[in-house]
Amino acid sequence: MRSYTSVLVGKLIFAAVCLFPGPLGLLLGFSLWREGEDWAWIPFVAGLACSAFVPVMALKLARSEFPRITRRDRAKDESFSYEDDTFVMWAPRSPKGHARERLARADVLEASLARYDPDGEGTFTSYPGNYTPDEFTPLVRLKLRVYSDEEADGGEGADTAAAFEVTGQWRVPSVCLSAVTAGRLAVLVDPAGPAGQQGPRRVTPLWPSSVLLAGTRTCRVIDLEGRTADVTRRPGRLLRQMRISRAAGGIELAGDTIDLRRLDAHTAVRYAAVAEADRARPEERAPVTEPGEESRWLVDDLEGGAAAFGSVSRRWSRRGGVLVRARFLNLRSTYTFQVYGPVLDTVLRIQPPDGTPAFDAARRLTVPMDYLAVLHRTREVVLHADPKGGSYVIDWARTNLLAGTAAAKVVAPEGREFTLAGRPDVIWPLMNLLASHGLSNPSPVLDLRHRRMSAVAGTVMDMVLARGIEGERALRQPQPEDR
């Protein structure tokens, strides 16, 4: 992983090339001064003014490109306090749709990436206003099962006869990709055509609502008596609440909470009736992801950082640098994009390694799309902690591996393979073990047959076997150790 110093030096060189008239003016002014010209101060002052922008431009570019969090990034807005399990997402608005269209649930049966082909490379691309361009919005082919009956919300016991299937291509905002992976969408459905006419009905996904329905975003309701209920991953109740909100013209969420005491009386009574019905017949919490996730696994086709056990600097390790975990509390869309992900305004809660209280940091970051696609599973992020505690650097390779965007594996010295898919409780201590020994492994496969891994091979196998992970014989023959 590159250091901040190397990135800053590269940006200084880039800025000096872009602003070359500045240093050129300094040289010209100095040359004219040596020759005794009275007007030598003109190019000298102009060059000095231009050269002053070189470090400013370099610092700004390095900060935007390198995911480093310092003390200056500590959140200063104390108007809203995030609970530890809160996750708020502000996504681009969905179309309101026609009044005759009805809000319904749709299950994603199949999903595949149809097109994502933005122009440019790794540069930042910004757009004015609230424009989200199609070239930075993945086009996804979806096969949906839509529950058209008002009461059939796709939950347990739903009437499948009231459902129909539809296939099409839709633009999915990058921050909402997790709704596809989770498999639950909120959609607007056109009513059936005139009697006797057959044909597909138009279905329009509502992506921010889908993120809420999928459980990526948390949701709480405070009733008229001040009681708080967590309705995250309760799709039936969420759909009923969404219908009330749509009929009322939309309800602004404060964080992830709807306070009925702040709504108009009519809307609050309707919400209260939904809450009362839920208390009488509590709805079971839906699974994190619906069955058949493998048929809608877009992660492998999306842009992003390759998942790995990660690289490490021996100097950082010897000085006492450690890995720490943070979690996203808030993601807010901006209108700046990179090829491998959108640029988002984020709030993270970081737990310092020295045991001091956790703090929130607000930082604008480029978040990889493959990580966004599994955001319903986890919001955790892996950070490099500076030995002095002054800064933290986001490690997207380790973050993606911990989130499960790729299957982590351990190859034992005798050749057996141990798959750690879905086991962050095993992957995390292994990452820390490698980092403490200054061992880099820029791959999701930790091969203990390599000689450089001999110092930790025994400890790694003890950690893997202690957690009851079963191994299987590798299909390929064990290779000789690296020389």
| Residue 347: both structure tokens together | 């709030």
Residue 225 maps to a domain = yes
Residue 439 has a pLDDT of 93
Whether 288 and 151 map to the same domain: the answer is yes
Cα separation of 408 and 102, whole Å? 43
Q: Which domain holds residue 106?
A: 88-296
Whether 144 and 244 map to the same domain: the answer is yes
Residue 344 maps to a domain = no
Whether 36 and 136 map to the same domain: the answer is no
Whether 186 and 49 map to the same domain: the answer is no
Whether 16 and 164 map to the same domain: the answer is no
Residue 356 maps to a domain = no
Whether 167 and 129 map to the same domain: the answer is yes
Residue 363 maps to a domain = no
Whether 46 and 167 map to the same domain: the answer is no
Whether 25 and 126 map to the same domain: the answer is no
Residue 481 has a pLDDT of 42
Residue 457 maps to a domain = yes
Residue 212 maps to a domain = yes
Whether 54 and 104 map to the same domain: the answer is no
> Cα dihedral angle (11, 17, 20, 23), rounded to 10 degrees?
60
Closest CA to 63 of 50, 73, 77, 53: 73
Q: Is 470 exposed, middle or buried (0-12, 13-18, 19+ CB in 10 A)?
A: exposed
Residue after which a domain boundary falls, among 296, 326, 343? 296
Whether 52 and 95 map to the same domain: the answer is no
Residue after which a domain boundary falls, among 14, 36, 66? 66
Residue 156 has a pLDDT of 47
The residue assigned the tokens 């009519």 is 266
220-224: long-range pairs with CB below 8 Å, 24+: 220/256, 220/257, 220/258, 221/257, 221/258, 221/260, 221/271, 221/275, 222/257, 222/258, 222/259, 222/260, 222/261, 223/260, 223/271, 223/272, 223/275, 224/260, 224/261, 224/268, 224/272
Cα separation of 184 and 477, whole Å? 43
Number of domains in the chain: 3
Residue 477 has a pLDDT of 43
Residue 171 maps to a domain = yes
Cα separation of 298 and 291, whole Å? 15
pLDDT in tens, the chain (483 residues): 577 777 788 888 888 888 778 778 878 777 877 777 777 778 778 878 888 888 888 888 888 888 889 888 988 766 567 888 899 998 887 777 777 888 999 999 999 999 998 876 667 888 876 667 888 999 999 999 999 765 545 454 444 557 899 999 999 999 999 999 999 999 999 876 544 445 567 899 999 999 999 999 999 999 999 999 999 999 999 999 999 998 888 777 767 889 999 899 999 999 999 999 998 999 999 999 999 999 999 999 999 888 999 998 888 888 888 999 999 999 999 988 999 999 999 999 998 888 888 999 999 999 999 999 999 999 999 999 988 878 999 999 999 999 999 999 999 999 999 999 889 999 999 999 999 999 999 999 999 999 999 999 999 999 999 887 877 754 444 444 443
Whether 291 and 155 map to the same domain: the answer is yes
Cα separation of 93 and 99, whole Å? 17
Regarding beta strands 409-411 and 380-385, do their DSSP bridges make them parallel or antiparallel, or are they unpaired? unpaired
Residue 228 maps to a domain = yes
Whether 131 and 219 map to the same domain: the answer is yes
Residue after which a domain boundary falls, among 296, 313, 346? 296
Closest CA to 325 of 217, 435, 420: 435
Residue 193 has a pLDDT of 53
The residue assigned the tokens 């058949």 is 292
Closest CA to 107 of 166, 50, 53, 42: 166
